[in-house]
Amino acid sequence: MATEVKVPTLGESVTEASIGELLKNVGDAVAVDEPIVSLETDKVAVEAPSPVAGVIKEFKVAVGDTVEVGAVLAIIDEGGTAAAAPAAEPKAAAPDAGVEKTAPAQAKEALGSDASQTLSPAVRRAVLEHGVDPSTIKGTGKDGRLTKEDVIAAAQAKTSSPAPAQAASAPTPAAAATGERREERVKMTRMRQTIAKRLKSAQDTAALLTTFNDVDMSAVIESRERYKDLFAKKHDIKLGFMSYFAKAACLALKDIPGVNAQIDGDEIVYHDYVDISVAVSAPNGLVVPVVRDADSKSFAQIEKDIADFGKRAKEGTLTMEDMKDGTFTISNGGVFGGLMSTPIINPPQSAVLGLHRIEDRPVVRNGEIVIRPMMYIALSYDHRLIDGREAVTALKIIKEAIEDPTRMLIDL
């Protein structure tokens, strides 16, 4: 019996998506609820599972297609059997049978094996481009699936390792073709298109301004070092810097409510709660899941929420509900080595806190020049709603709370 696999409900106000990857091939056997198609929406990637066990008879879509909720993605032959792989025919020994195969040849041969049938088109293309054997790479995707990032990492590791002298003496076709210039056109994902539109809209609509300060991280680093083992033992989560900044931001937003507000038409909407959007890097772009009621949560719960978001962002399992609303955003460019930046607000929010890398710098303390671990912090804000005095004061409160964490305990 033939069963249709349709585009599932994608979330509130989301009516269409793009086909990101076909996770199976025609003729593959699938189990109940096994994902067969990856869909990209404006905010997240979701997977369409098979409603029955059977064999994929036909795909009705291709990678890059735009589909609406309820559209047919594939036909499953319920109770069917997977197509058997053709038996290998005996081959006579080739004249160069004793010569080791090149990396591209090995990659093509590996792609032709049964073990590669679960590879997505993007991963197959990366395997061929980088000339790696997918069977030798451990997948980090959902259910151990191989991702494009896995292939690229394996290729980089292969390049950095010393190659045999014989292989090094034989130039590759790419190396032989001197002066070759290449370019590749790749269609923007739906998420990247949405990010581009929203960020440009923020620039066109809001009166953006950024104020800076620097923070002495000595006290936070000291308290983290002192309690990190006890914290991890009790809460089963590492104590990071983000929870400190989240709680410090809560102090500032309570004292300066305009920084936690937003403009709606000709009205200002103030919030008596703090829902912090945390910028997280995902394979398809930057996403901002929300730590709700951060002002009433403990350090441990904030760390658990952020760790969970980071894990699910890499797996592509964040939902629309995870990223709805939010009253303020924290973006940590320091994890990538950024020294200073002017972060852009996440509409309709009115402010975003940018964190940067920590580095030892000379500063003056009690009339003496000393070395301290310093971080630049930046607050970008919508000047239509937030005055400079309010922005500078909010950033100063965050600075003081980080330099003296006791303030966060006594709400000062």
Instruction: Report H helices in 8-83.
Output: none
Alpha carbon distance 132, 154 (integer Å): 7
How many other C-beta atoms are found inside a 10 Å radius of the C-beta of residue 266?
A: 5
Residue 383 annotated among the catalytic residues of the structure: yes
Q: Which of 360, 387, 404, 411 is catalytic?
A: 387
| Distance (Å, whole) CA 287 – CA 296 | 23
Yes or no: say if 210 and 379 are a contact pair by the CB < 8 Å rule. Answer: yes
* SS3 state of residue 242: helix
Which residues, at least 6 apart from 381, have a Cβ–Cβ distance to it below 8 Å? 208, 209, 210, 211, 259, 345, 350, 351, 352, 391
Tell me which residue has tokens 């923070």.
Answer: 215
Whether 244 and 405 have beta carbons less than 8 Å apart is answered as yes
Q: Which of 319, 320, 290 is nearest to 306 (CA)?
A: 290
Whether residue 348 has a cis bond before it, omega within 30° of 0: yes
Active site residues: 383, 387
